[in-house]
Amino acid sequence: MAVDKSQGFITLVRLGYAARGVVYILLGYLALSTQGEAREGASSVFDYLQEVPLGSVILWLVALGLLAYAGFKLVSAIGDIQHRGSKPKGVLKRIGDGASGVAHLFLAYAAYQFATGAKHAAEGGQSQQMAGSVMDWSVGGFVLGVVGLGFLVGAFMQAKSAVTADFMKHIDGRAPTGVEAVGRAGSAARAVVFALIGWSLVQSAWLSQSGKVKGLGEAILALRDNGVIYTLVAVGLLLFGVFSLIMARYRVIPDIHHGDLKPRL
């Protein structure tokens, strides 16, 4: 029996893709227009949204959407609702799903903090502080390293998507022309950023270099001395946001069953 693949569930997942789109569009915009503000990544986006009309309402919707998206990705990793399978290729994709789920949980919490007024401005060094807190756990190094590996796997899968456009099999055929090109460009930019984040986490966890940890914004700004590459990545992230908005409308959403909440290897 399906766990209510109702219009409500579908709407939540689609809201998740839309929220992801808003974050990446604004992040790409801030990276192109004001490099310093982009340093705080999603926090700079949420800080920006606080200042626009109906910003609080938008932040609540973004927080809810990101939470729904995180849940969708985590269930995909655990229950294999996207039928990745248990072969090495499928397991890698599910690890990437899990890392994406964890990352978007943090984003959802950050958006919630801004929506409730707990944060009114971006604070520096958040990624390092978070990594330091995790490293204080008895198994913190292992956890941080696994998350880092998840991001590296995610980077590989994003790069693969940029080359093969395999994401198209999840998109309704009624999607607008040009979605494939936009998705390829966005996936390529995201692969670069995920690789930087993942490697920084692995360095912090297993190579005793906690100061190397990068968040989303810090990973982008790490490229700013590379001129054209920085601009291409920033534009690519903006395009990934546009691609996410298209996905919000045309993504084919799989059924979810009670058993999908149990680990399936």
The model's pLDDT over 149-169, given as tens digits with 9 standing for 90+, comes to 888 888 888 999 999 999 998
The model's pLDDT over 187-241, given as tens digits with 9 standing for 90+, comes to 999 999 888 888 888 887 777 655 566 666 677 777 777 778 888 988 999 999 9
Average pLDDT, the chain: 79
Least confident of 4-18, 68-82, 240-254: 4-18
Residue 261 in contact with residue 78, Cβ under 8 Å?
yes
Q: Could you give the 3-state DSSP secondary structure of residue 178?
A: coil
Per-residue model confidence (pLDDT) at position 6: 57
Per-residue model confidence (pLDDT) at position 199: 86
CB atoms within 10 A of CB 153: 21
Measured CA to CA in angstroms, residue 89 lies from 15, 92, 156, 164 at distances of 29, 5, 11, 15
The pLDDT-based confidence of 142 (bands split at 50, 70, 90) is: confident
Per-residue model confidence (pLDDT) at position 226: 76
Q: Is 133 exposed, middle or buried (0-12, 13-18, 19+ CB in 10 A)?
A: exposed
Residue 123 in contact with residue 177, Cβ under 8 Å?
no
Average pLDDT of the segment spanning 237-252:
93
The pLDDT-based confidence of 3 (bands split at 50, 70, 90) is: very low
The model's pLDDT over 35-93, given as tens digits with 9 standing for 90+, comes to 555 556 677 788 888 888 878 899 999 999 999 889 888 888 887 777 777 788 788 77
Per-residue model confidence (pLDDT) at position 61: 92
Could you give the CA distance from residue 185 to residue 183 in angstroms, rounded to a whole number? Answer: 6
Could you give the CA distance from residue 24 to residue 203 in angstroms, rounded to a whole number? Answer: 26
SS (H, E, C) 98-134: HHHHHHHHHHHHHHHHHHCCCCCCCCCCHHHHHHHHH
Average pLDDT of the segment spanning 104-131:
68
CB atoms within 10 A of CB 181: 12
Tokens for 109? 């919490």
Q: What is the DSSP string of 32-98?
A: HH-HHHHTTTHHHHHHHHHTSTTHHHHHHHHHHHHHHHHHHHHHHHHH-TT---SSHHHHHHHHHHH
Could you give the CA distance from residue 265 to residue 181 in angstroms, rounded to a whole number? Answer: 33
Per-residue model confidence (pLDDT) at position 183: 95
Per-residue model confidence (pLDDT) at position 134: 46
With a cut of 90, say whether residue 242 has pLDDT above it: yes
